[in-house]
Each structure stands twice: as C-alpha cells, then as structure tokens.
Chain A
Amino acid sequence: MIQVVLKIEDLKKNYGKAEILKGISLEVKKGETKVIIGPSGTGKSTLLACVNRLVEPDHGRVLLEGEEITSRNAHKMRQKIGYVFQDFNLFNHLTALDNVRIGLIKVQKLSKEEATQIALEQLSKVGLSEKASLYPSQLSGGQKQRVAIARALAMRPKLMLFDEPTSALDPELIGEVLSVMIDLARSGMTMLVVTHELGFARTVADEIIFMENGLIVEQGPPALIFSNPQKDRTRQFLRKLTELYGEERIK
C-alpha cells in the first residue's frame, strides 16, 4: 500500500468576510509531486500556509503521515515539512552555510560538526558549495532560492511545500531553481508545489490541481489537464497562462 504523506480534509479559511478557502480536500502520497495552479488570489498560498500552520485555518484537518497538525504541535510538525517561500526569506544576517545549518543546530540540536557536514552536503546538491560563506545580500535571486531549498532539505523533511518559488525571480534565473526542483522530485521527495511554471508541471507532476475562488475546480494527471481539460475555466486559464509565460521553459 502506498503511504499517504499529506492529507487535507475540508480546509476552510476566512479573512474577515472574505472566504479564501471554501473547503479543500486533497492527498499527496509518498514520492508524489502535485502542482497547484490557478489565478492569483484564489487561496493557493493560503492553502500551503495552512498546511504547516503559518496560517491558522478556521475549519478542517491537516494530517502528516496520519498525525494531525494542530497549533499545539505545529513547531514540532514543521520540522518535518520543508517550506520554500516566494521571496526566499533567507536569514539576512547569516551566511549561506549558517542559513542551512541553524535549524539543525538550534532546532534539531545536532553538534556543530554534524550540522556543518549536512549543510555542506545540501549546498553542494543545489550547486552552491562555493557560496557557503557568502551572505544573502551577496547572492543572486536564483542562488538565494537554492539556498532556501537547501535550508528546507537539511531538516530531512517528509514533505516539501513550494509557494511560487520562481515568481520573484528574473526570467534567466528561473531555470536553475526549476532544475533543482526537478531533481528533487525525481529523487522521490514528496512535494506540493504552487507555481505558474507549466513546463515544470508537465515534466514532473503526478497530478495537476486547478484551484479558483477557494475551491478545487479540476484535478488530474498533467496529460489530461493540459490536452483535454474537462472544465471551461481550466481551459481558459491554461490558455491565458500560456500566452503570458510562453509554452515551455524546460527542455
């Protein structure tokens, strides 16, 4: 039996009168990559933030490997969930190396030597061993995002959440981040990714989830969603996205 890593049940979130999430349920199995697409302001980022309790949902449950994530156990559960932000959020006062190992030292209480070794390994996986001693202000956007991915991976997460990881990047820097993410997906990491990068979705996604107005409109394998979407809204959105971003960015 394939293990379900993430299970979201009927998640709802309001901000004041605005209903951002109107009851979202989905599952991500071990090793799967699911990609969420949809127009801006439809609650995709809120959904990710609700998963690891950076935003407190109003209703519904989130389970990681069968264990419910609550506000009480959130900081323990977050160690098992890697989170990559749109605007990187590297710790500005720490070098790339310290960014990656601070969680290992302060949260997982590893020794400095052990943490350094793991951190250097992760940095080399994202191709940044040489930049270990540089500060965020000395790195390009693409490099910052790769350090952020290394920081999340260093904690050995069960699940990686990506919140539009390439949206804040210059076009020529997007490729380096996507290729790290593709490697990661192929290595068997369980991933839930919010992105507009259809090329990425086509290449590695096991399932595409189209969200609009706080609801899942349609979901299915990329071949089906891209070539033969069942809903008009999905079709319109994909057409607009293709016009905006071009057909493919990944060969």
Chain B
Amino acid sequence: MVINSLPVLLKGTLVTVELTILGLGLGFLIAVPVSFAQVYGGRVARLICSLYERTFRSIPLLVLLMLVFYGLPQIGIRFAPFVSCVLGLGIRSSAYQSQIFRGAILSVGKGQTLAALSIGMTPFESFRYIVFPQALRFSLAPWTNEFTIVLKDSSMAYALGVVELLRQGSYIISTTYEPMVIFLTCAAIYLLMTLSANKLMGYVEKKLQIPGFETKEVSH
C-alpha cells in the first residue's frame, strides 16, 4: 500500500518543495532590504522595518494564511490558495530571515569596515568585498534552520486546500482508511527532505569554510 500510494504522495511532495522554495525565495527577497534598512537605515526606516519584523514574527502562520486567503478578498484582493500560501510563508519567513541577516552583518565587527574604508574602498565596496563574505558565513547555519522550518510549515497549506504532501496523504486515507501507515509515510518523506536540506547546506558550509569561521553543529 505504501508503494501504491507513493506516486501520489510524491506528486504532493513536489508541491511541498515548490511552496518551500518559493516561500523561502520570497522571504529572502524581502529580508535582504529589510535587514539592510535595520542595520544601515535612518531612524524612520529602522522603525518601519522593526515594526514589520516584530509583527510578522508574532502572528501564527495559520492566522496569516487565513488573513491572506479569506480576509483580503473582503477588500477586493483575491489570491489562489497556492499563491496565498507562498505569500504567507514568504512574509513570515522574511521576518525571520531579516533577523538572521541583520545579526550576521552585525557580527562582522565595525573595524572590518573601517579597515576597508582606510585602504580607499567605497562604502559599497567595503560591503561587497569585506562585510558580505563574512556575514554570509555567519548566516549559513541559522539560515539552514529557517529552510527546514519553512519546509515543515508548508504543511499548513493543507488548511487552504492546497494539494501538497499532507493533503495528498489525507486523500489516500479517505479511500484506504489507513491513517497510521500513510501519515507515517508522509512523516518519513518530510524527514528525508529535512535531512537532505541539512546535508546540502552542510556541504555549502564546508565549501565556504575558512579558519576562524568554524560554526558549531546545529541540530534540528
């Protein structure tokens, strides 16, 4: 039965992967400018971005999804379930990712920028060649964590009727009446994906490793 249900579950897995990548990507695109504004911005920009980040870190994902999918149509903004989920996952993840990047940029000491400026680099060049490569390494471990959180939380798309891994599983259960086996299979697929994501990011970390930048193992 597990074997028979696999093709359908894998179809759902594909949607789960799509949700994860698009959600993470949207989160990244929003998080980069937000973190920049929080570190380098003026008082107003910092305030707005902090407000944004606090707000969306405090709203449960499910509530956010409901707001996007059921709430927004009331003011005339309508999204398909899949798009609503990407927006919800992306906005929430952007709040968390912005804090990862903000922390990583701040971990690179002020002296690094001063030294870069002192040899004649422009502020942009100091960021590009000196701050960014170091911040990138500081952010990898926490970003891997965020990656797996978005992956797992994409299952909330179930609530909006997006046919991802979990919903495909429940469809199968409605005809086979085997919730234990099917949900366990779903769990195993999530586990496999999370492990692979960690492996992949671990590989990237190793590739970029430099003495003095060793990161401690992060467990999930």
Contact = CB atoms under 8 A, between A and B. Distances in A.
Nearest to B208: A93
Nearest to B123: A75
| Among A75, A82, A85, A138, residue most surrounded by chain B Cβ atoms (within 10 Å) | A75
A143 to B, nearest CB: 14
A30 interface: no
Nearest to B118: A83
B213 interface: yes
B155 to A, nearest CB: 38
A93 B213 contact: yes
Contact of A78 (B117, B130, B137, B211): B117
Contact of A93 (B115, B117, B125, B137): B137
A106 B127 CA distance: 12
Interface residues of B, number: 22
B119 A90 contact: no
Given A91-B112, A91-B130, A93-B137, A152 B119 contact: yes
Contacts of A134: 211
A181 to B, nearest CB: 17
A89 B115 CA distance: 6
A83 B213 CA distance: 25
Interface in B134-176: 134, 137
| Among B115, B121, B130, B133, residue most surrounded by chain A Cβ atoms (within 10 Å) | B115
Given A92-B213, A93-B134, A103 B114 contact: no
13 contacts: A54-B117, A79-B119, A85-B118, A90-B115, A91-B115, A93-B130, A93-B133, A93-B137, A102-B119, A103-B120, A106-B121, A135-B211, A138-B211
